[in-house]
Structure 1
Amino acid sequence: MNKKLRLGVLASGGGTNLQAIIDRCREGKLAAEVVLVLSNKPQAGALQRARSCGIPAVVVDHRHCPDREAFDRRMVDALRQAEVDLVILAGFMRILTPVFLSAFPQRIMNIHPGLLPAFPGIDAQRQALEYGVKLAGCTVHFVDPGVDTGPIIIQAAVPVLDDDDESSLARRILEQEHRIYPRAIQLYAEGRLRIEGRRVRIDQKVADKTALASPAIP
């Protein structure tokens, strides 16, 4: 039996992407297991989701650390103790320092509710509406020292409707996030992702269109 990929998830909010990943693992559709959830927010819903599934969940409160590097070192120590293979950012609202990035080179993924490189940072859905784009979406990417600037793995697009507001657009994008994040992790687990400069090559076992996840994921 192949060893499952050990995931450490960092989350600051409700944890719906975490739940999608947990569900795919339990359904046998993802060759991975979440072994640790960390949050900088003691009341984060992601912590309760993890605990209800029997997954260790730990608070590392940044307010109790003297600086960002000390905060990151505490998280790195916890992830290493859990023998994490891949770090998953799921609504984690902190910018990682080189202390963290150097501990897990090319082993950190993030999901962003925008079609990068357009609309990085916070409030991507609002940015899309204000700009008047016809397509919005989400992006899974590897994490580098910038903000939402790492090599792109998968993107999914949704139409922007005339009557959309920020909430309605965010809901439709979130549905796609729950589809493509587990898919990106599975590709990593299968050893099919190769980073070449700014590009992520996906080794094709079959002729699919994985990198553009919308409309279909196998």
Structure 2
Amino acid sequence: MTVAVIQFGGSNCDRDTVRALDALGIDADLVWHEDGLPESVDGIVLPGGFSYGDYLRAGAMAAQSPILDAVRERAQDGTPVLGICNGAQIGCEATLTPGAFTINESARFQCEHVHLRVETASTPWTAAYEEGDVVEFPIAHGEGRFEIEDDELDALESDDRVLFRYCNEDGTVTDEANPNGSKHNVAGIVGERETVAVMMPHPERVSLPDLGNTDGQGVLRAFAE
């Protein structure tokens, strides 16, 4: 299969993502957003970075790119789509998933490693883990606080569509373990189709053995599975 990693002006995790996918034996190509989505694509990643300098709000301008029309169409057809960090912001802005990512509660850029509890193992993105597993991923964002209406969050939780929550090292979900103030410590979700996911932490940055942590491989393996 071939995964398209879409580049926008300001993307800076695109090549990292390609390398991480390649290391797992998954073919990945960089696709400039103005060139359109190739017909042969079997998966799509909206990578991290600062598309359009995060003007207006993070992800808002990139979500207006015509390529997002094609991404939405492919998502409806069942093509796996993963939005990471800025890509998660773009995904929400483009209505691939509900909710929004907004300014961190600290009003500061947060760059650190965090612990995540796997909330479900019944999606392609978390099938490599066990429910309740604790993994360690890095974050790097200024607008990572997940916000959503209470009734929509209730629906996400009742439908088992929350992928990860920020937690302590022992898996306890606490306010202190929440780096950005996300509602109910949510760090990643799936859309109406479980093949579409957005998450603020970076799995591609913990996927290469040379980096000393491969906790993120499980997320990226979804494209192969």
TM-score by length of 1: 0.39
Q: Pick the structure with greater CA Rg.
A: 1
More helix by share: 1
